[in-house]
Amino acid sequence: MYPLLHRLCHTLILSFGLAWTSAAAAEVPAFDPNTNGLLFTLHGSNTIGAQLAPNLIRKYLATKGAQNIRSTPLGTINEQRIQADVGNQAVFIDIAAHGSSTGFKGLEQSQADIAMASRPIKAAERVLLNRLGDMRSNRAEHVIAIDGIAIIVHPDNPVKHLTLQQIAAVFSGDIRNWSQVGGHRGHIRVYARDNQSGTWDTFKSLVLGKDYSLIENAERFESNDQLSDRVAADLNGIGFVGLASIRHARAIAVSHQDTQPQAPVHLTIATEDYPLSRRLFLYTPVHSLKPAAEEFLYFVQSEAGQEQVKTTGFISQTPISIKPASTREGPEDYLALTQHAERLSINFRFAEGNATLDNKAQQDIQRLAKYMKKPENRDRQLLLIGFGDEKASAERSVVLSKLRALTVRSALHHHQVNTAPVQGFGAYLPVASNNSRAKIKNRRVEVWLL
């Protein structure tokens, strides 16, 4: 039962006089009749708003006992209303998916209750929304899924792998022919998301950076799916989309400098080791959040909500175990420790600039504790292995990586979850170049199940 239900259900039944059974009443969504049935509004990312948010809303309403759940276009592209009947009351939730930046503008202008974002809030946006509380606190920033930005090409394109440097050169126009990267002879045509898109912001940050600009003749799209379909129909095309929008195109493997190529598959994206993995967020005011919106957030983080994330085509945050491949790389001690273990689909990472667990990691501690209390896992043990970026000495890097693992172990102990002795392997097995800003991704703790 959700935390607000006792208070909400009593208020709802008295206010609306709904004819519910006691079981159904425990699942009633909260809403204010003075808004004519509007529960809450979401503005922002098309990556979230196109399919994921509507699907989560439908499932949320269904679990609350709503009937006749349907979607209605609002007359503007990428805007829709999810409607349902709750007893004899009509309720609805409005979605406007015009890009991540529009979500924060919606919060600032009091037009949105929840901002959808496929990239973290920017410093300027955080200042603009200061009246709503600390928008980087765990009460405001909610990681709801993991996505991978897939670099997509035509299914018949022979190129299987590109480095981030090559991708940047292609999208900036420095490389203009597929033969320059091992493909067939053909002039490369570039397709990209529009400037309002969080997918574009993430691609620009992770790939183009400050050294490259998008080629001027790139064709721009507000929709991931439309872009993907255009690439799938163009033998010489290349583009980038969210993982759920690969559709009929083909995703290629990607690597940082001096790292192994990573394909956008479940484990590499869930652990955020894939170079172009990203988090999908919902942002809310710290205070004065509508009760129904708060209930919706609880649902999204639940296993039922995360199952809907998976069904929609994104990566769920619910832990799963995966047996490692027979051929692996790493120090001999690392390979020996993990030889008979299973890798869990969680990497713990830390707030930038300090050793505290970030908002996602704090939520993942609770998920992992729940996972370990399942009957099939009660007699098994967790192994925590820390890694880091390069330091002045290898010894210091190893010490810091072990301290990161100890931080996770301490957090798990608060949930009565014991672990094997922690291990630290310093700067081994980097997932990002230690010569780039992305090196922070190397500061991580892997989780293995013994």
Residue at 276 is within a domain? no
Give CA–CA dist 178/180, Å, rounded: 5
pLDDT at 201: 84
pLDDT at 326: 64
Q: Are residues 308 and 340 in the same domain?
A: no
Residue at 271 is within a domain? no
Residues lower than pLDDT 70 in the chain: 1-35, 326-327
pLDDT at 14: 30
- Please, which residues have CB within 8 angstroms of residue 299's CB and are 6 or more apart in sequence? 2, 56, 59, 60, 63, 305
Q: Are residues 213 and 304 in the same domain?
A: no
pLDDT at 108: 97
Q: Name the amino acid, one letter, at 144.
A: I
Residue at 275 is within a domain? no
**What range does the domain containing 14 cover?**
5-140+284-312
- Please, which residues have CB within 8 angstroms of residue 340's CB and are 6 or more apart in sequence? 450
Q: Are residues 67 and 114 in the same domain?
A: yes
Q: Are residues 200 and 289 in the same domain?
A: no
Q: Are residues 211 and 234 in the same domain?
A: yes
Residue at 429 is within a domain? yes
pLDDT at 323: 87
pTM: 0.82
pLDDT at 221: 95
pLDDT at 205: 82
Residue at 273 is within a domain? no
- Which residue has tokens 């765990």? 138
Q: How many domains does the chain have?
A: 3
Q: Are residues 167 and 245 in the same domain?
A: yes
pLDDT at 75: 87
CATH (domain of 166)? 3.40.190.10
Q: Are residues 402 and 433 in the same domain?
A: yes
Q: Are residues 254 and 294 in the same domain?
A: no
Q: Are residues 231 and 162 in the same domain?
A: yes
pLDDT at 35: 58
Residue at 335 is within a domain? yes
pLDDT at 289: 93
CATH (domain of 412)? 3.30.1330.60
Q: Are residues 260 and 221 in the same domain?
A: yes
Q: Are residues 98 and 161 in the same domain?
A: no
Nearest to 450 by CA among 362, 368, 383, 388: 383
Residue at 56 is within a domain? yes
Residue at 277 is within a domain? no
- Burial class of residue 205 in the structure, from the number of CB atoms within 10 Å of its CB (0-12 exposed, 13-18 middle, 19+ buried): middle
- Where are the strands (E) in 156-246, listed by range? 161-163, 189-193, 219-221, 237-242
Q: Are residues 218 and 153 in the same domain?
A: yes
